[in-house]
Amino acid sequence: MPVHHPPPTFPCEEHGHSPGYPRPNPLLSFWLQHTRNSPLLGHHTTGTLPDKTDATIIGSGLSGAATAYFLLTAGPEDRRPRSVTLLEAREACDGAKARNGGHYYPDYKADFGQEQALKIIQNEMDTLNLVEEIIAKEGIDCDFWRAFTYDIAMDQPAADSLAASYAEFAADGGPVEGIVTPILDPTQAHEATRCQAALAAYKCPAGVLFPRKLVLHLLGLCIEKYGMNLQTRTPVRRVVPRISSAGGWRVETDRGAVETETVVYATNAYTATLLPEFVEHIWPFKVKSMLVDDQDLAGKIG
Ligand SMILES: Cc1cc2nc3c(=O)[nH]c(=O)nc-3n(C[C@H](O)[C@H](O)[C@H](O)COP(=O)(O)OP(=O)(O)OC[C@H]3O[C@@H](n4cnc5c(N)ncnc54)[C@H](O)[C@@H]3O)c2cc1C
């Protein structure tokens, strides 16, 4: 699958420094503008934090919500945690997941080497299918639409680059069948994509959804059906080993501390603030997603 995401060029924080905490008043994303009546706004399942909990998840994006969902529903019942607490610095699902494009599709990342790139693309296909399965199973209303996505070449260098990337993917043994369909005739590429300047296009399976609706539904389900404790507006400041007993952790926030056996960091760009060993590896970047709702314009840009 072609690689054509431009590398990030404007880090908002210097590489090698702690990213700090999520800012308390971020820009209101497109998705959040439509969900200001969410029952989870400012949610505290209990007025104060529980003293103890089996598992504590930090961060309520899709990683945190999916972790909670699978911890509470998957595997043998006697091995599931009896109590799960989720701590979120901002509102529920107010990080990258509340700001993204809502697209799910496999993307071949040759930079990672053949073996890893093939595992990634398989994992992405599996994720697309799993997301569809869970949405159907739980009856989640999140505007999910199983569709296709196109990588479009609008000039010859782009067409050459996409062709080379496709050839590399196929030569590496990539599962082309059903995953990447090249459309090399410009007229057909134009018709398929409605992009007038298309010289070639590569079609692959994809899904589109309203990401925040998916996450809020999963969080609501975990709270109502499985007793999860969600605490929004509760930034975690520190995680330290528990002193008084063998093992476990003390998760410290501005609203008190929770003692816990297991901590899951679903903190995305802010992970290195709590786990400094990731300072060199994970740091926030500014990325913009653009919504084009003008049909004429949509056909003219790539
Ligand atoms: C503009 C944009 C467009 C994108 N488009 C797509 C797309 O179309 N398709 C796609 O698959 N991916 C896309 N992505 C990437 C995708 O959004 C992320 O990979 C995904 O949202 C990560 O989910 P997450 O749950 O790991 O992180 P997040 O959604 O960022 O959640 C992390 C949460 O942790 C919380 N947190 C952090 N530190 C603390 C702390 N100390 N205490 C308590 N809480 C804390 C944050 O407030 C946040 O709510 C896009 C990203 C951006 C920014």
**What is the distance between the alpha carbons of residues 182 and 166, in angstroms, rounded to a whole number?**
8
Structure tokens at 191: 């018709």
pLDDT at 155: 93
Let me know if residue 180 belongs to a domain: yes
Same domain, 183 and 239: no
Q: State which of 18-27, 91-100, 211-220 shows the largest mean pLDDT.
A: 211-220
Number of domains in the chain: 2
Same domain, 165 and 249: no
Of 32-36, 117-121, 179-183, which gets the smallest average pLDDT?
A: 32-36
> Which residue would you say has higher pLDDT here, 243 or 108?
243
Same domain, 224 and 126: no
Reduced to 3 states, what is the DSSP secondary structure of residue 256? strand
Relative to the CA of 63, which ligand 1 atom is closest? 25
Q: Is 274 in the pocket of ligand 1 (CB under 6 A)?
A: yes
Which amino acid is residue 62, in one-letter code?
A: L
**For a pocket test of ligand 1, which of 100, 143, 218, 238 has the largest count of ligand atoms closer than 8 A to its C-beta?**
100
Q: Is 86 in the pocket of ligand 1 (CB under 6 A)?
A: no
Residue finishing a domain among 182, 209, 236: 209
Nearest CA to 3 among 171, 130, 168? 168
Let me know if residue 9 belongs to a domain: no
CATH code for the domain of 77: 3.50.50.60
Average the pLDDT over 187-214 and give the result.
91
Question: Which residues in 236-272 are b (16+ Cβ under 10 Å) and which e?
Answer: beebeebeeeeebbbbebeeebbbbeebbbbbbbbbb
Let me know if residue 132 belongs to a domain: yes
**What is the distance between the alpha carbons of residues 58 and 35, in angstroms, rounded to a whole number?**
22
Relative to the CA of 288, which ligand 1 atom is closest? 1
Same domain, 40 and 189: no
Residue finishing a domain among 152, 185, 209: 209
**For a pocket test of ligand 1, which of 38, 105, 270 has the largest count of ligand atoms closer than 8 A to its C-beta?**
270
Indicate if the pLDDT at residue 63 is higher than 60: yes
Angle at 108 between CA 106 and CA 113, to 5 degrees: 140
Same domain, 203 and 217: no
Residue finishing a domain among 148, 181, 209: 209
Same domain, 88 and 219: yes
**What is the distance between the alpha carbons of residues 40 and 232, in angstroms, rounded to a whole number?**
8
Let me know if residue 298 belongs to a domain: no
Let me know if residue 6 belongs to a domain: no
Domain that holds residue 203: 103-209
pLDDT at 106: 61
Same domain, 108 and 189: yes
- CA atoms lying within 13 Å on the CB side of residue 49: 25
Of 12-21, 88-97, 151-160, which gets the smallest average pLDDT?
A: 12-21
Same domain, 109 and 63: no
Average the pLDDT over 82-86 and give the result.
97
| Contact between residue 45 and residue 223 where contact means Cβ atoms under 8 Å apart | yes
In this prediction, residue 125 has a pLDDT band, given cuts at 50, 70 and 90, of confident
Indicate if the pLDDT at residue 206 is higher than 70: yes
Q: Give strand ranges (E) for 154-289.
A: 181-183, 200-208, 229-231, 236-241, 249-253, 256-265
Task: Give Cβ neighbours of residue 180 (< 8 Å, ≥ 6 apart).
Answer: 1, 166, 169, 174, 202, 203, 204
Same domain, 222 and 255: yes
Q: Does pTM top 0.75 for this prediction?
A: yes
> Which residue would you say has higher pLDDT here, 21 or 32?
21
Let me know if residue 285 belongs to a domain: no
pLDDT at 116: 81
Residue nearest to atom 50 of ligand 1 (CA): 100
In this prediction, residue 84 has a pLDDT band, given cuts at 50, 70 and 90, of very high
**What is the distance between the alpha carbons of residues 262 and 179, in angstroms, rounded to a whole number?**
38
| Contact between residue 249 and residue 260 where contact means Cβ atoms under 8 Å apart | yes
Same domain, 108 and 200: yes
Same domain, 114 and 170: yes
Let me know if residue 19 belongs to a domain: no
Same domain, 111 and 195: yes
Q: Give strand ranges (E) for 14-61.
A: 52-58
Q: Is 235 in the pocket of ligand 1 (CB under 6 A)?
A: yes
Relative to the CA of 215, which ligand 1 atom is closest? 25
Let me know if residue 13 belongs to a domain: no
